[in-house]
A and B are shown apart, each in its own frame.
Chain A
Amino acid sequence: DTGVSQDPRHKITKRGQNVTFRCDPISEHNRLYWYRQTLGQGPEFLTYFQNEAQLEKSRLLSDRFSAERPKGSFSTLEIQRTEQGDSAMYLCASSSVPGQGAKEKLFFGSGTQLSVL
């Protein structure tokens, strides 16, 4: 188990292009989250999956953003028609449903740094 893996680590794109990021969670984790972090700010929640079901989406996730987790394992986050304001670190985190009396802990990946020129 190598932790949460994200690919690519860095992505530079031109405004208007589409980009897709991938996240591979820790293998036994059924919960997967996407957060976004801009420079000097804390991460902001974008969306949450339990297995393959997307159960929550932030208002930050405009209709240009789409996330999937087709088989309840890896997830992809696609941004269409990128804008300069989309430049940020996109963080994926995973966890498992906590057992009785236990508390959920998120494990973050290293993130994908997106730069939109």
Chain B
Amino acid sequence: QKEVEQNSGPLSVPEGAIASLNCTYSDRGSQSFFWYRQYSGKSPELIMFIYSNGDKEDGRFTAQLNKASQYVSLLIRDSQPSDSATYLCAVDSGNTGFQKLVFGTGTRLLVSP
């Protein structure tokens, strides 16, 4: 059973702080890693993806991947109340030719003004 583990939270941070969200995965052969943001009652929205070890930055978001430790993280700098949502980590094994994603349960982030 391929698994993706996330702390369900909530993770509470004050406005302007850095929010750090973490994810571990069990399938060592996983190739692609995604972070989705999901507001309550809404559909998941892709915000970051990463394939290689190291950091990838996009605006206020930085994704970090460590395949040896089977660990993915998402940093949100200058957190805003509008960032309050559930953040889903998703992993693709990469061996199907399509995106058969395995999602974690998500971490709920609360950014207080």
Q: Which residues of A contact B (CB under 8 A)?
A: 31, 33, 35, 40-45, 48, 50, 55-56, 91, 95, 103-111
Contact = CB atoms under 8 A, between A and B. Distances in A.
B98 A105 contact: no
B51 A103 contact: yes
A33 B43 CA distance: 14
Nearest to B8: A40
B42 interface: yes
A106 B101 CA distance: 10
Contact of A45 (B4, B101, B104, B106): B101
For chain B, which range describes its interface: under 10, 10 to 19, 20 to 34, or 35 or more residues? 20 to 34
B54 interface: no
Contacts of A45: 100-102
B105 interface: yes
B90 interface: yes
Instruction: Name the residue among A31, A104, A106, A111 with the largest chain B CB count within 10 angstroms.
Output: A106
B25 interface: no
B100 A105 contact: no
A45 B2 CA distance: 12
7 contacts: A33-B98, A35-B101, A41-B105, A45-B101, A103-B49, A104-B99, A108-B45
A43 B103 CA distance: 6
A43 B101 contact: yes
B17 interface: no
Contact of B44 (A41, A48, A91, A95): A91
